Amino acid sequence: MFIDSFITSILHELHSVYGNYLLVAIMTFFLGIATYTDVKSFKIPNKLNFTMSIIALILIFFDFSFSTLFVKLSGAFVGFFMLFLPAMIKNHAMGGDIKAVTVIGLFIGVKLIIPFLVLACLFGSLFIILRIHKGSLFSVMPFAPFFFISHITLFIFSLWI
């Protein structure tokens, strides 16, 4: 019973967020630039994260309700801590990635940030396995491309269901 209502709630939120094509376009643009800069320089610029957080807050303002505000801010909080804690434990420099996922949490909310990050980690793990299988090892890896792939996957899934 609980699992059914939880899945229904996630699917409803998926349709709500990814049914808004303006939001999808803004997130695609943001994640596309973040992916490009992360692959090129292993950094996601603070200016990009700041600009997108302002845009997310403006969108929240236009759809203002206390429940929406709570859901979006909770998504940012959960996204932040789901990357911040492992980065601190492992002492990895992931500042831009942490800020980017915080902004993504502002866009998609608390119900979708966990599936979003799980997908990003699965795609990242698959990439690592393929790289190890090819015999090429690396010391650092950009994470924004996996955010982008996760976003596209959720969007396609929202169209499919």
Chain center to CA of 9: 19
Question: In terms of Cα–Cα distance, which of 41, 119, 53, 43 is closest to 80?
Answer: 53
The pLDDT tens digits of the residues spanning 95-108 come to 899 999 999 999 99
Question: What stretches of the chain adopt beta strand conformation (E)?
Answer: none
How is 86-103 classified by DSSP, letter by letter? HHHHHT---HHHHHHHHH
Instruction: List, for residues 116-129, the tens digit of each pLDDT value.
Output: 999 999 999 999 99
The CA distance from 6 to 77, in Å, is: 20
Which pTM value belongs to this model?
A: 0.91
Question: What are the pLDDT digits (tens) for 8-40?
Answer: 889 999 998 999 999 999 999 999 999 999 999
Across the range 125-154, mean pLDDT stands at 90
